[in-house]
Amino acid sequence: MALLKSDLPQGTLDLLILKTLALGPMHGYAIAQRLQQISRDVVQVPGGSLYPALHRLEKRKLVAAEWGNTGTGREAKFYRLTRKGRAEMQASAASWQRLSEAVALIMRQADGGVL
């Protein structure tokens, strides 16, 4: 089942974009493709969510953008992680990790019927 943006917890999309950009600069379409591939088609980000998120990140100077040539010779806007973006990514990745572990812990406990 595909996850839409509304199914993603608040702020997760930003983290996913930053994490993807940590691999290297890429344009918006490539980010969407990469997210879909890595998540095995679970995360499908529509353009209507992706670009506003990218522009927000650009405004907060977490990513920087610049026009460049794609492999196929077309012009596209490439985004790359800034130093501030990398720090932000690491911080929110850590807190996401903690949160998901905590959630998993609680789910396990509930399953075990300890209560």
Partner 1 sequence: MSWRHLLRHEKQEAQLDRELNFHIEEKVADLRRSGLSEEEARRKVRQEFGDIDRIKEEYRDARGTRWLDELAQDVRYAWRSLAKSPGFTAAALVALILGIGANTAIFSVIDAVLLRPLAFREPQRLMSVWKTGHTEHNSRRLFTLSEVERLRSDGAFASLGSFEPVSIRVLYRGEPEIAAGARISPDLITTLDVSPILGRGFYSGETNVALLSRAYWQRQFGSDPAIVGRTIDVEMSSVYGGTQGDRAVVTIVGVLPGELRLRPLDQADIWIAPEKDQDPPERRAATTFVVARLGPQGQPRTVQDLPNSRVDSLGWQINLVPVTETIMGSVRPLLLLLWAAAALVLGIACANLANLHLVRWSHRARELAIRAALGASGSRLARQLLVEGVLLALAGGACGLAAAYFCLKLLDLTRGLTGTVELKLDAPVLIYTACLSIFTDCCLAWHPLGQRARSDCKMPLESGVIRDGRQHAAGS
The closest of 27, 33, 30 to 75, measured between CA atoms, is 27
Q: Is residue 76 a contact residue for partner 1 (CB under 8 A)?
A: yes
Residues 32, 45 contacting (CB under 8 angstroms):
yes
C-alpha 70/C-alpha 78 separation (Å) is 9
Residue 39 or 49: which CB sits closer to partner 1?
49
User: Interacting stretch for partner 1, rule CB under 8 A, among 9-17, 50-58, 90-98, 105-113?
Assistant: 50-58
Q: Which stretch binds partner 1 (CB under 8 A): 8-16, 51-59, 82-90, 103-111?
A: 51-59
Q: Which of 15, 21, 28, 63 binds partner 1 (CB under 8 A)?
A: 28
Which residue in 27, 34, 43, 81 binds partner 1 (CB under 8 A)?
27
Owner of token pair 């839409």: 4
Cα gap 73→4, rounded to integer Å: 31
Strand order through the sheet with 75-81: 26-27, 75-81, 63-69
Q: Does 7 sit near partner 1 (CB under 8 A)?
A: no
- Give yes or no for residue 85 binding partner 1 (CB under 8 A): no
Binding region for partner 1 (CB under 8 A): 27-29, 32, 46-49, 51-52, 55-56, 59, 67, 74-77
